[in-house]
């Protein structure tokens, strides 16, 4: 079906931070499957682990105990603030689970007849109907109305907007079951949250017995230089969702909760493929590789190098570029509103320079390379990006 507007490239193989097309051309990958191939392409540890797993068991059912699932769950709770995990297959599914959890929490813990979830404008939480309805971008809703009811929106990083919305809904009794928010808005333009803003929301949620749910689908599994984006802010959520980088390119997602949010009972939610042995073996391998190879340190160092390089380009092309945003290896290069070019223009020219990039809206170019990217590869990325920008100078 015509759901994708594809670039005219057919990719056949990859190694580390590089991919090759069917004509033998070699590209530096600044996309990494949109932040999924966290430990690079054709990683040897992942290849060995998944090959062994296929010789054992690839799928059974959640009717039975699954050792690989329990191992991954243990790794996740041992390395986060969470105490329990629900496994699914994608970020959208993880957010669907979080939305269901939020509604049940509102009914059972706050005695709300029609629970409301607060979300941010410019957010993105997935393409399924409820996750889409939680997304604060009208363009994604168009053609799919009526959206799911029960979502209200505040302006990201705007304390007054949040406070006004919160007070208007709660003035006559409990209405709000949760706040669902990204620590760094990805699809919305690579916009990091302000620490003071998240701290205020945490305090409001704690005071009023409301769940704070972080969407860590893009920020989780080391992309910011810490395992979880919330660690960048010194604030713990009651629940958070992950996917993308968890499987290193394989389909897996998860909803992680503290005990206060651990309210699902048998039959409340399920997934046929969620937490299958193959996907969980991928997740365990990725997690261990991130720690074993000290990739968090690499993300911090390469992130600083990338940001410095982007700032140099901003100074070189001030009529085209305005700022860089983001943390670690989730960064965005912002194009001036008055500039005649868009992020797609830069992405298309980058393709000719054998550099893969992805947009985050019409005026932001996003950089989400593998967490394994080297110093020389970042240098090469910046060199090729400079060649791209010369076309518009």
**What's the CATH number where 360 sits?**
3.90.1150.10
Q: Which residues contact 296 (CB under 8 A, 6 or more apart)?
A: 222, 225, 226, 227, 290
* Whether residue 55 is found in the same domain as residue 161: yes
Condensed to tens digits (0 to 9), the pLDDT of residues 9-68 reads 999 999 999 999 999 999 999 999 999 999 999 999 999 999 999 999 999 999 999 999
Same domain, 288 and 298: no
Distance CA 141, CA 132 (A): 7
Q: Looking at the predicted structure, is the pLDDT value of residue 304 above 90?
A: yes
Residue range 190-239, pLDDT digits in tens: 999 999 999 999 999 999 999 999 999 999 999 999 999 999 999 999 99
> Exposed, middle or buried by CB within 10 Å (0-12, 13-18, 19+), for 20?
middle
User: In this structure, are 385 and 249 located in the same domain?
Assistant: no
What is the maximal distance between C-alpha atoms in the chain? 65
How many Cβ atoms from other residues are within 10 Å of residue 364's Cβ? 25
Tell me the mean pLDDT in the region 369-387: 98
Contacts of 330 (CB under 8 A, 6+ apart): 35, 184, 186, 190, 218, 219, 223, 224, 366, 367, 368
Q: Is the predicted pLDDT of residue 266 greater than 90, yes or no? A: yes
The predicted structure's pLDDT at residue 286: 98
The position carrying tokens 């620490």 is 195
DSSP single-letter state for residue 217: T
| Segment 121-167, tens digit of pLDDT | 999 999 999 999 999 999 999 999 999 999 999 999 999 999 999 99
User: Of the residues 267, 292, 317, which one is the last residue of a structural domain?
Assistant: 292
Percentage of the residues of the chain whose pLDDT score is greater than 90: 100
Domain hosting 312: range is 11-30+294-390
Half-sphere CA count of 284, side-chain side, radius 13 A: 20
Is residue 295 scored above 90 in pLDDT?
A: yes
pLDDT at 393: 85
Asked whether residue 113 falls in the same domain as residue 254, the answer is yes
The DSSP annotation for 100-117 comes to HHHHHHHHHHS--SS-EE
- For residue 158, CA distances in Å to 64, 92, 165 come to 46, 26, 11
Q: What are phi and psi of 276, to 5 degrees?
A: -65, 155
pTM: 0.97
384 pLDDT higher than 90: yes
Task: Give the per-residue pLDDT at 242.
Answer: 98
Same domain, 111 and 256: yes
If you average pLDDT over every residue of the chain, what do you get? 97
Cα angle vertex 144, ends 141, 147, to 5°?
A: 70
Please answer whether residues 138 and 123 qualify as being in contact, where contact means their C-beta atoms are separated by less than 8 angstroms.
Answer: no
Mean per-residue pLDDT, 346-356: 98
């Amino acid at each position: 079906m015509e759901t994708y507007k594809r670039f005219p490239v057919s990719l056949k193989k990859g190694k580390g931070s590089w991919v090759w097309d069917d004509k033998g051309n070699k590209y530096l990958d600044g996309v990494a499957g949109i932040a999924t191939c966290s430990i690079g392409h054709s990683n040897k540890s992942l290849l060995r682990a998944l090959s062994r797993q296929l010789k054992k068991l690839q799928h059974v059912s959640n009717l039975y105990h699954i050792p690989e699932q329990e191992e991954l769950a243990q790794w996740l709770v041992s390395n986060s603030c969470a105490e329990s995990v629900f496994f699914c297959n994608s970020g959208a599914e993880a957010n669907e689970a979080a939305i269901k959890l939020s509604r049940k929490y509102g009914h059972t813990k706050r005695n709300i007849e029609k629970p409301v979830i607060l979300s941010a404008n410019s957010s993105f939480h997935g393409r399924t109907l409820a996750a889409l309805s939680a997304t604060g971008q009208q363009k994604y809703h168009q053609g799919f109305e009526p959206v799911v009811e029960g979502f209200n929106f505040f302006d990201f990083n705007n304390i007054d907007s949040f406070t006004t919305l919160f007070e208007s809904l709660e003035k006559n009794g409990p209405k709000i079951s949760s706040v669902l928010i990204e620590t760094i808005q990805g699809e919305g333009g690579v916009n990091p949250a302000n620490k003071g803003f998240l701290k205020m929301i945490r305090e409001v949620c704690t005071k009023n017995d409301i769940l704070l749910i972080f969407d860590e689908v893009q920020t989780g599994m080391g992309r910011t230089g810490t395992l979880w984006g919330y660690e960048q802010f010194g604030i713990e959520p009651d629940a958070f969702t992950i996917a993308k980088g968890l499987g290193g390119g394989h389909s897996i997602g998860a909803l992680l909760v503290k005990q206060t949010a651990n309210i699902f009972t048998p039959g409340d939610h399920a997934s046929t493929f969620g937490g299958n042995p193959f996907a969980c073996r991928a997740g365990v391998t990725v997690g261990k590789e991130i720690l074993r190879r000290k990739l968090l340190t690499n993300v911090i160092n390469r992130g600083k190098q990338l940001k410095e390089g982007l700032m140099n380009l901003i100074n070189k092309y001030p009529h085209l570029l305005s700022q860089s945003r983001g943390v670690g290896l989730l960064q965005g290069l912002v194009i001036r509103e008055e500039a005649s070019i868009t992020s797609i223009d830069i992405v298309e020219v980058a393709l000719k320079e054998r550099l893969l990039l992805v947009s985050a809206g019409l005026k932001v170019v996003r950089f989400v390379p593998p967490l394994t990217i080297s110093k020389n590869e970042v240098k090469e990325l910046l060199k090729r990006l400079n060649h791209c920008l010369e076309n518009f100078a």
